[in-house]
């Protein structure tokens, strides 16, 4: 991992640094990184990044003036294969985690103020967001029982699959069976499963823009062409249905929707989802719906599972415990087949999922063993408390953003844990783009934001409000101070911007 500041010029220096995140009496584990800055700055283009990674054999030959290594007459054939190289590049450019680490490296760890993590949705470190006692008790009981120390079935324990089927069926017009549920190591593995089984030579998939970059990274690894469907900020981040049919073709295999939406914070209405289902049916493609933030809604639109339209189009639903129960580290997710007409059974999609999971890793058996009691025993008071917290912090975030002149929020968040805001760069001095904004902000104010470029929206940033309210207020004040400090003395007027005279 490169820990050099992505805003700084290249330099030939190596050093080790330790960064500890502290706030509200809670600490992230200290992170140690070794930095070697002897190449181009971070966030270069793909060709540059690929060129920066010589093979082991080539590096060895270079170190010996092109001769043999250690007297051997053989060279090590350790060149990364094309697929592996593509995945490595994708992971570097399309991973929120990798980008966050790079931006965090800009922080002055000698500064007096705590680092405020407004880039990613993991509020589990804050006491007010602690998970339900019933969930903790279920895990402890499962572990102490001694019944769940074994390998599970690849698709998951039968009782756990049945519990998820019953849990999801409560919001659907039909009943799922345990055979419709496949347990995964978090939502991330669920994405890996569905993208991998759909990737065939020459096929393409429709992904939302902005969107969650793991889909694009996984598609790159599987040589699956990506075509983007734009979300319209002025319409509450609705899917641009008018362009959907023109973008898809006979080789399109699926469309991905994320609801409630990460990164935009919108929640799709029943009517909009119904239109998506009808267009997908017309195109003959299935819908992959990412509902990891399902039921985390606090606006005017209730959460509607896409599975409600399973009679119109076959649905693969991705879900997990991570967000609603605030336990991302427990790594338990699922893929649910919402397809009452059994189209995905007939086309062997269900068999492919099973086959994939049979040669893949599993969620921890004791977490699977605890799952039935987690789903059954968690009290409604816990969910209400989390919604109340997110309602409060989303309001704080939206009000604070409106008070910062250099950023614009087109739509108040109504769900998930995030909001997308547009940078008004014409008002700022010395800020080149969204990545530069985030790096300089981290360096000067110790606030970590997610640049929109990694999400498909250049010169936007994503902010999380899943954090304690005092830290959120502090973070917004720091962003405001940063923008005031970098404000242009004579910003361009609107006509100059439109005419491109900047």
Count of residues in the chain? 502
| Structure tokens given for 333 | 């997710």
Question: Confidence class of residue 72 from pLDDT cuts 50, 70 and 90?
Answer: low
Those residues whose C-beta lies under 8 Å from the C-beta of residue 393, and which sit 6 or more positions away, are 465, 466, 467, 468, 469, 472
Shared-domain flag, residues 385 and 374? no
- pLDDT level of residue 447 (50, 70, 90 thresholds): very high
Bridge partners of residue 423, in order along the sequence: 407
Measured distance CA(120)–CA(442) in Å, rounded: 14
What is the structure's pLDDT at 476? 98
Mean of pLDDT values over 415-435 = 97
* Predicted confidence (pLDDT) per residue in 132-161, tens digit: 999 999 999 999 999 999 999 999 999 999
User: In this predicted structure, what is the pLDDT of residue 96?
Assistant: 79
Read off the pLDDT of each residue in 260-283 and give the average, rounded to a whole number: 98
Q: Are residues 317 and 356 in the same domain?
A: yes
Q: How far is the C-alpha of 117 from the C-alpha of 478, rounded, in Å? A: 12
Does residue 278 lie in a domain region?
yes
Residue 281 and residue 393 share a domain: no
* Confidence (pLDDT) at 7: 47
In this structure, are residues 116 and 23 in contact, taking their beta carbons and an 8 Å threshold? Answer: yes
Judged by DSSP in three states, 242 sits in: helix
Tokens of 226: 């990506």
In terms of domains, do 425 and 303 share one?
Answer: no
Number of domains composing the chain: 2
**Residue that the structure tokens 């939302």 belong to:** 208
**424 has pLDDT over 60:** yes
SS3 state at 347: coil
Same-domain status, 429 and 357? no
Mean pLDDT for the stretch of residues 476-492 = 91
pLDDT at 250: 96
Contact 378, 133 (CB under 8 A): no
Q: 407, 449 in Cβ contact below 8 A?
A: no
Give the separation between CA 307 and CA 169, rounded to whole angstroms: 9
Strands 418-423 and 460-464, bridge-based pairing: antiparallel
DSSP state of 117: E
**In sequence order, which ranges of 294-364 are alpha helices (DSSP H)?**
343-346, 349-358
- CA 384 to chain centroid: 24
416-443 residues labelled b (16+ CB within 10 A) or e (exposed)? bbbbbbbbbbebbeebeebbbbbbbbbb
- The CATH number covering residue 372 comes to 3.40.640.10
Is the pLDDT at 69 greater than 80? The verdict is no
- The pLDDT value recorded for residue 37 is 40
* 349 domain-assigned: yes
| Share of residues in the chain with pLDDT > 90 (%) | 74
Looking at the structure, tell me whether residues 176 and 274 fall in a common domain: yes
- 229 has which bridge partners? 208
Q: Report whether the peptide linkage leading into residue 489 is cis, meaning its omega lies within 30 degrees of zero.
A: no
Of 49-63, 110-124, 216-230, give the lowest mean pLDDT range.
49-63
Identify the burial level of 226 via C-beta atoms within 10 angstroms of its C-beta, where 0-12 means exposed, 13-18 middle and 19 or more buried. Answer: middle
Instruction: Indicate the residue among 378, 396, 411 that finishes a domain.
Output: 378
On whether residue 479 sits in a domain, the answer given is yes
CATH of the domain at 417: 3.90.1150.10
- What is the Cα 47 distance to its own chain's centre? 25
Q: Is residue 409 part of a domain?
A: yes
435 and 338 in a single domain? The answer is no
Q: Are residues 256 and 206 both part of a single domain?
A: yes
Task: Give the CA count within 13 Å in the CB-facing half-sphere of 60.
Answer: 15
Within a domain: residue 43?
no
pLDDT cut 70: percent of the chain above it: 79
Q: Is 272 inside any structural domain?
A: yes
- Can you give the pLDDT at residue 98? 86
Per-residue pLDDT at 169: 99
Same domain, 385 and 311: no
Spatial separation of the C-alpha atoms in residues 53 and 40, rounded to whole Å? 12
- Model confidence, pTM: 0.82
Per-residue pLDDT, 26:
40
The whole-angstrom separation of Cα 88 and Cα 86 is 5
pLDDT-derived band at 21, boundaries 50, 70, 90: very low
- Alpha carbon distance 192, 17 (integer Å): 33
Q: For residue 29, what pLDDT band results from cuts at 50, 70 and 90?
A: very low
Query: How far from 37 is each of 11, 51, 56, CA to CA, in Å?
Result: 5, 16, 19
**DSSP class per residue in 74-92:** -----PPPHHHHHHHHHHH
> How would residue 319 be classed by pLDDT, with cut points 50, 70 and 90?
very high
What pLDDT shows up at residue 243? 92
1 DSSP 8-state letter: -
3-state SS assignment for residue 247: helix
Range of the domain at 457: 116-128+381-499
Q: What is the mean pLDDT of residues 279-289?
A: 98
Q: Average pLDDT, stretch 457-465?
A: 98
Structural domain contains residue 151: yes
State the chain's mean pLDDT as an integer. Answer: 86
Of 301, 309, 317, nearest to 238 by C-alpha is: 301
Q: Are residues 241 and 348 in the same domain?
A: yes
Whether the CB-CB separation of 256 and 215 falls below 8 Å is answered with yes
Query: Which string of DSSP letters, residue by residue, matches 157-183?
Result: -HHHHHHHHHHHHTTSSS---GGGEEE
Residue 410 resides in a domain? yes
Answer with the one of 378, 409, 425 that is the final residue of a domain: 378
Residue 83 confidence class, pLDDT cut points 50, 70, 90: low
Rounding to the nearest 10 degrees, give the CA dihedral for residues 86, 198, 243, 456. -30
Pair 309, 425 in one domain: no
Nearest alpha carbon to residue 138 among 346, 321, 348: 321
What local confidence, expressed as pLDDT, does residue 373 receive?
Answer: 99
Domain boundary among 336, 357, 378: 378
Is the pLDDT assigned to residue 13 strictly greater than 50? no
Find, among 219, 199, 207, the residue nearest to 356 by Cα.
199
Query: In this structure, are residues 418 and 463 in contact, taking their beta carbons and an 8 Å threshold?
Result: yes
Same domain? 462 vs 348:
no
Q: How many CB atoms lie within 10 A of CB 384?
A: 10
Calculate mean pLDDT across residues 193-198: 97
- Please give the pLDDT value at position 307: 99
- Cα 454 from Cα 471, distance rounded (Å): 25
């Amino acid at each position: 991992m490169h820990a050099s500041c992505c805003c700084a010029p290249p330099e030939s220096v190596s050093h080790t640094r330790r960064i500890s995140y502290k706030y509200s009496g809670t600490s992230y584990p200290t992170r140690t990184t070794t930095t070697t800055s002897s190449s181009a700055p971070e966030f270069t283009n793909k060709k540059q990044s690929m060129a920066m990674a010589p093979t082991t054999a080539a590096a060895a030959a270079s170190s010996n003036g092109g001769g043999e290594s250690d007297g051997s007459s053989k060279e090590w054939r350790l060149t990364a294969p094309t697929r592996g190289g593509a995945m490595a590049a994708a992971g570097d450019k399309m991973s929120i985690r990798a980008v966050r680490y790079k931006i965090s490296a800009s922080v002055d760890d000698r500064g007096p103020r705590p680092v405020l993590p407004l880039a990613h949705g993991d509020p589990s470190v804050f006491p007010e967001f602690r998970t339900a006692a019933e969930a903790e008790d279920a895990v402890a009981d499962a572990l102490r029982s001694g019944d769940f120390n074994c390998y599970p079935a690849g698709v998951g324990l039968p009782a756990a699959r049945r519990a998820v089927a019953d849990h999801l069926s409560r919001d659907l017009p039909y009943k799922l069976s345990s055979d419709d549920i496949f347990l995964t190591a978090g939502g991330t593995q669920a994405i890996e499963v569905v993208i991998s089984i759909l990737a065939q030579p020459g096929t393409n998939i429709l992904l939302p823009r902005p969107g969650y970059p793991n889909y694009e990274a996984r598609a790159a690894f599987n040589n699956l062409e990506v075509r983007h469907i734009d979300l319209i900020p002025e319409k509450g981040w609705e899917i641009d249905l008018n362009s959907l049919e023109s973008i898809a073709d006979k080789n399109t295999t699926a469309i991905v929707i994320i609801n409630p939406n990460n990164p935009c914070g919108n929640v799709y209405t029943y009517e909009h989802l119904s239109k998506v289902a009808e267009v997908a049916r017309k195109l003959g493609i299935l819908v992959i719906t990412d509902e990891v933030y399902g039921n985390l809604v606090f606006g005017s639109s209730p959460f509607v599972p896409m599975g409600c339209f399973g009679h119109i189009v076959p649905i693969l639903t991705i879900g997990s415990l991570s967000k609603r129960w605030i336990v991302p580290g427990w790594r338990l997710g699922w893929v649910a087949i919402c397809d009452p007409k059994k189209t995905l059974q007939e086309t062997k999609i269900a068999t492919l999922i099973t086959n994939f999971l049979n040669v893949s890793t599993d969620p921890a058996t004791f977490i699977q063993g605890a799952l039935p009691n987690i789903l059954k025993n968690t009290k409604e008071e816990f969910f209400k408390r989390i919604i109340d917290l997110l309602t409060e912090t989303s309001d704080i975030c939206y009000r604070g953003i409106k008070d910062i002149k250099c950023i614009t929020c087109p739509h108040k968040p109504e769900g998930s844990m995030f909001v997308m805001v547009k940078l008004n760069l014409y008002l700022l001095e010395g800020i080149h783009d969204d990545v530069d904004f985030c790096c300089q902000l981290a360096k000067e104010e110790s606030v970590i934001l997610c640049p929109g470029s990694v999400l498909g929206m250049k010169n936007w940033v994503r902010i999380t409000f899943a954090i304690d309210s005092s830290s959120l207020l502090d973070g917004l004040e720091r962003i405001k101070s940063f923008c005031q400090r970098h404000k242009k003395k004579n910003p361009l007027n609107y006509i100059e911007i439109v005419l491109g005279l900047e």
